Structure 1
Amino acid sequence: MTGHVAVLGAGSWGTAFAKILADAGRDVTIWARRQPVAEAIRLRRHNPEYLPDLRLPDRVTGTGSAAEAIRGAEIVVLAVPSQTLRGNLAEWVGDLHPEATLVSLMKGIELGTTKRMSEVIVETARVTPDRVVVVSGPNLAPEIAAEQPAATVVAGTDDRRAQLVQASIRTPYFRPYTNDDVIGCELGGAVKNVIALAYGIATAMGFGDNTRAMLMTRGLAETARLGVALGADPITFAGLAGMGDLVASCSSPLARNRTFGEHLGRGETLEQAQAATRQTAEGVKSCLAIRDLARAHGVEMPITEQIERICHEGMDPRLAVDALMSRTAKPESYE
């Protein structure tokens, strides 16, 4: 291996993550699906489509060839939309070094299989779970690109690999913490997208802080219930990959799921909201898979259920609010 890092995906987070790696002293090659973007990164250290005001460090280069980016890479960072991971990785697997550490930046649950992203990586790349590391937390790309202080969680079952990634992304403005709870970190990142949609809808409907606080806390309860059913440590959901990511995704206008939800809350259709935002809102697709995963494990997730109905069954958000508020009274419980 050459020691360089490949970042596969030139969206906002992939681009910002490449900057973090370079600022931490790593040589980075970004793969961009569109050749003009790859050339702009390589020739001008500039991504014209995402974070266009950011000048990437000299350690960063770009390519339109995934094989070129991956060849000899010690760390391969996967930063593509979650529902495209399996197809993309199937094309790339032959170029992976047999000892490379695979890093997932994706926050979603795969449709149809209800698998977490690390599970998709293990299955598709035919690697053992210890080869996979997950990065998750309150990581809004524009703020990190501006070097505002932020932190994240690096989760993996192999301490050596987790610490390798931790050392590779530690900078004066970005502080990574390790964790061995891969399940909890992945679920926190996936479910918060759905809750952020609900938060955006409520914001656009004119509801105030009480309603929004209710959505965040009860959304966290849903996440923790599902996590515990799958074997996660409930303490994880009180940390950066749980509450931290949820707060950032709900409260910030930079968060694409919250913004997408605002369009839905103003009465726009799914298609109109997609056209207006021009970015992937992972929660829109993941809510289907999360709902199926919850039902398979007998876990109640009422907010997720209503978001699925709004997004995919055309339910009026006002009726969804009525459905949530008219549920049978019960004790507050995270069990």
Structure 2
Amino acid sequence: MKKKIAVLGAGSWGTALATVLDENGHEVRVWGNNHEQIDEINHTHTNKHYLPDVKLSPSIVAYTDMEQALNQADAILFVVPTKAIRPVAKQVNDLLDEKQKPVTIHASKGLEQESHKRISVILEEEISKEKHSGIVVLSGPSHAEEVAKRDITTITAASLYPFAAQFVQKLFMNHYFRVYTNQDVIGVEFGAALKNIIAVGAGALVGLGYGDNAKAALITRGLAEISRLGIAFGADPITFIGLSGVGDLVVTATSVHSRNWRTGNLIGKGVPLDKVLADMGMVVEGVQTTKAAYELAQEKNIEMPITKAIYQVLYEDAQVDQVIEDLMLRDRKAEASSENMGEEE
């Protein structure tokens, strides 16, 4: 059945998801605050800054007026940067009435600065329960560039509202875009946010000239850190070996499509962070997420040495090669903390 979907955010991921929804026969309205970009989507059916090689369907309509985009929407999809989630959610709450009650979905990946809150928590705080029919997290191993070209993709719709997760699954499922449901919202959101940190580190390793051994070590031990923090907040450990855990981590930490990987790669080559971010022209979620995760780990007294090392590079001007050496020379220990082993010789 055809549904009306408001996609809030006209970046690469929002545009790619809009193409999936449009192809599935839904009425798609994209909202953004850049008038030139919105005009481009409506008149030339392109979004060249974000997806330069993709031609959009003429049936995807873009708006700068949020009220028009939300009008009678059955679902709202947030795909704005993490720092914009709260103010945009406030706007949405003010514009919705209690009769509409759309399913609220987010496909953003980060943690709020200062509060360190997950995105679904922010949405619960800012959108009245009477104005939505459930909050769903859409996440998994997915590059916007590949989704827009109909490459095979599998992701997760996670929600405490099973019917809402199933609704989202039906909205997006097709022959190249497969969606699984999951109730572990905490694990899915932590996996989505924290993998960006490890991707920055993986890019830096390549920038420094390290090979596959180093990348495999970083990704594997990075997953251990992600799991450790997520589990401390109530996540299911199994989630981290699924699509939104190891799946999303691998795709983000090994690909030039990833802004986080590219950021780390340039830092590894000696380019200052300020210049990297200025030249990127898009939000790099991993930079701010590193700070939030590092602070959370400090608060909870959770050991996250890789996250700490990347934090030192991004925020304390530490040299990448030095923090790598420091990581390698830490005290000896067993790989799994649950192992009952004596002291190593």
| Structure 1 position 48 matched with structure 2 position 48 | yes
What SS does the corresponding residue of 1:62 show, helix, strand or coil?
strand
What SS does the corresponding residue of 2:105 show, helix, strand or coil?
strand
> Which residues in structure 2 correspond to 1:138-217 (within 5 Å)?
138-217=141-220
> Which residues in structure 2 correspond to 1:1-335 (within 5 Å)?
3-98=3-98, 99-127=101-129, 131-333=134-336
Shift, 1:130, TM fit: 7.0
Shift, 1:201, TM fit: 0.4
Shift, 1:92, TM fit: 2.5
Paired with 1:165 and 1:241, the residues of 2 have a C-alpha distance of 16
Is the 8 Å Cα contact of residues 74 and 97 (structure 1) preserved in structure 2?
A: no
- The runs of 4+ residues in structure 1 deviating greater than 6 Å are none
Q: Structure 1: state its 5+ residue gaps.
A: none
Shift, 1:52, TM fit: 2.8
Paired with 1:127 and 1:271, the residues of 2 have a C-alpha distance of 40
Distance 1:333 1:24, change over 3 A: same
Count of residue pairs brought into register by the alignment: 334
Paired with 1:166 and 1:141, the residues of 2 have a C-alpha distance of 18
Shift, 1:275, TM fit: 2.2
Paired with 1:96 and 1:6, the residues of 2 have a C-alpha distance of 12
Paired with 1:321 and 1:264, the residues of 2 have a C-alpha distance of 14
Task: Answer with 1 or 2: which has the greater Rg.
Answer: 2
Q: Identity of aligned pairs, percent? A: 37
Paired with 2:258 and 2:174, the residues of 1 have a C-alpha distance of 23
In the alignment, residue 22 of structure 1 is paired with which amino acid? D
Is the 8 Å Cα contact of residues 264 and 270 (structure 1) preserved in structure 2?
A: yes
- TM-score normalized with structure 1 length: 0.96
Shift, 1:95, TM fit: 1.5
Provide the aligned C-alpha RMSD in A: 1.5
Is the 8 Å Cα contact of residues 220 and 243 (structure 1) preserved in structure 2?
A: yes
What SS does the corresponding residue of 1:13 show, helix, strand or coil?
helix
Distance 1:233 1:130, change over 3 A: farther
Shift, 1:183, TM fit: 0.4
Paired with 2:249 and 2:97, the residues of 1 have a C-alpha distance of 35
Paired with 1:104 and 1:224, the residues of 2 have a C-alpha distance of 22
Distance 1:121 1:172, change over 3 A: same
Distance 1:97 1:325, change over 3 A: farther
Q: Structure 2: state its 5+ residue gaps.
A: 339-345
In the alignment, residue 156 of structure 1 is paired with which amino acid? S
Distance 1:237 1:122, change over 3 A: same
- TM-score normalized with structure 2 length: 0.93
